[in-house]
Amino acid sequence: MDFAQIVKEVQESFRDLGKMKMVPAEIVHVTLKFLGDVDEDKIADVGQSLENISCEPFTCLIKGTGVFPNVRRPRVLWLGMEGDFDPLHKQVEYYLEKEGFEPDKREFTAHATIARIKHIPRSNMEQFASMVEEMENVEFGKFTVDNFRLKKSILTPEGPVYETLRQFNL
């Protein structure tokens, strides 16, 4: 089963439990670092700096579901990602810090956001929490991480549109 199909199936499991905006499966991704607003003239420097990253491709296990900030006040539903993300993430942080970006204060947790939760009715909260817990250790599939991309997000009323500015092979 491909990644988009896994995303759709997990989303379907939660769909009727509350008001959620599902992220279209085709644009679900793992964010290594969110840069915020970046001047157009800085993009080339960022891309050149990221060219220096040297990591081996690795296998990513799609494992478990979770929520941010917590199951009592869920705002984001995500799929967990397990793999050798640390060397890649550390190098991204290192090279972007050289370009003037602040390092993340929070510890990096590899995940893919699959839904933004607006509201879970109290009557469904127990079922929602138990589904998150039941799926906590489910292994949904694997894929090879052999590249990463510098993306630009354009916010529209229908949701974000992502444009790939550069792709970097591992």
- Nearest CA to 105 out of 52, 163, 46, 34 is that of 34
Q: How far apart are CA 39 and CA 25, in angstroms?
A: 29
What is the C-alpha end-to-end distance of the chain, expressed in Å?
24
Catalytic residue ranges: 29, 111
Q: Beta strands of 18-158 (E only): which ranges?
A: 19-22, 58-68, 76-82, 111-119, 139-145, 147-156
Neighbours of 48 (CB within 10 A): 12
Strand partners, 65: 79
H or E stretch at 167: strand 159-169
Considering all CA atoms of the chain, what is the largest pairwise distance in Å, rounded to the nearest integer? Answer: 52
How, if at all, do strands 76-82 and 111-119 pair? antiparallel
